[in-house]
Amino acid sequence: MDNLIIAFNAVLPVMLCIMLGYFLARIGMIKEELRKGLNGLCFKVFLPFYLFHSVYETDVSDAFNPGLMLFCCLAMIAWFAVLMFIIPRLEPENPRRGVLIQAMFRSNFALFGLPMAETLCGKENMGPTNLLIGVCVPLVNVLAVITLETFRGGKPNVKKMLLGIAKNPLIIASLLGLAFNLLNIPLYTDLQKTISSLGSVATPLSMVALGASFSFASAKVYRKQLLLGVGGKLIVSPLIMVVLGALLGFRAETLVPILIYFGAPTAVSSFPMAQQMDGDGELAASLVVFTSALSILTIFLWVFALKTLGLI
C-alpha cells in the first residue's frame, strides 16, 4: 500500500496541472495563441532558469556519473537504429514514418521528466538527472533532424543542426550552470532567490499549457499509428531500457532518470519540428497529446512496480 501511495503522489501533481489546463481551455480561458505563448515562455525562459539553478547547486563531483550518461546515450542510439529499421516496414507513408520514429525516441524529458524525477528522488538527489540533460538534449536533437530529413528525401544540414543545438536554451542554461558551479562563481543571495523563484514557475505552467493542447478528435483517423507510437513510447521503450539498466546495477536516483528518459511522453517540440520538415504535423500533435495523457497511467504503474521491487 505504501508503494501505491508513493506512486500516486508522484503522478498526482502533474495530473492535476494537466487537468486544470484542459479545463481552462475548454471554457475558453486559454486560447491557442495564449497556449503557444505559455509553451514558449516555459521553454525559453522559466525552464532554463530552473536548470541553471539546479545544476549550479549540484555537487558535480558526487552527481557526475559517466556510466549513466554512457548507458543513456548508447541505449538511445540503439533504440533509434531499431526504429529506423522496423517502422518503415510497418508504415508505408514517408511523412508518417519520420514522425512515428521521432515520437518513440524523443521524450518530454525536461518539462515532464524533471518534476517527476524531483518527486521520486528528492531535490537533493537531482544531480545525475540534471547533468544528463546536457548530454541527452543535443543527442536527441541530432537524431530527430536525421530522422525527419531521411523521410522527406533530403540530406541532414549539419551546419543548421549544430546551430540549432548551440542555440537550444536548455543546453545553454545547463552549461552556464555547470560553468558557474565549476568556477565557484558566487551569486548574491537575492539574485539566487530570484532565479530559483523564476525556475519554480516552469513545471506547473508547462503542464497547464500541455493540458490546454489536448484534443481527442484525431483518434479515429490515426488509430493504427497512435497504437504503434504510444505503445512503443510508453511501454516497449521503458520496458527494455529499465530492465537493462536494473541488470547493469542502476538503482534509485540513477535508475529514475532512465525510466523518465525512456518512459516520458513525446516531446512537445516534436510537433513544430515535424511541421517544419514536411512530416505529418497532425499525427505528430496527436502523438504528443495521447502519450502525455496516457503517460499519467503508465508512469504510475512503472513507479509502483519499481518501488515494489525495491529498485527505486
pLDDT tens across 239-262, in order? 999 999 999 999 888 898 899 889
Number of neighbouring beta carbons within 10 Å of residue 188 = 8
pLDDT in tens, 254-302: 898 899 889 988 887 787 778 777 888 888 888 988 888 888 889 888 9
Query: What is d(CA 290, CA 29) in angstroms, rounded to the nearest whole number?
Result: 22
Place of cell 508503494: 3
- Residue with more model confidence, 26 or 158: 26
DSSP characters over 114-177: HHHHHHHH-GGG-HHHHHHHHHHHHHHHHHHHHHHHHTTT----HHHHHHHHHT-HHHHHHHHH
- Looking at residue 102, what is its pLDDT? 94
Condensed to tens digits (0 to 9), the pLDDT of residues 130-170 reads 777 767 777 887 888 888 888 886 666 777 767 777 777 87
CA distance linking residue 174 with residue 187, whole number of Å: 16
Domains of the chain and any CATH numbers:
2-308 (1.20.1530.20)
pLDDT grade, residue 6 (50/70/90)?
low
Weakest mean pLDDT among 3-12, 22-31, 181-190, 225-234: 3-12
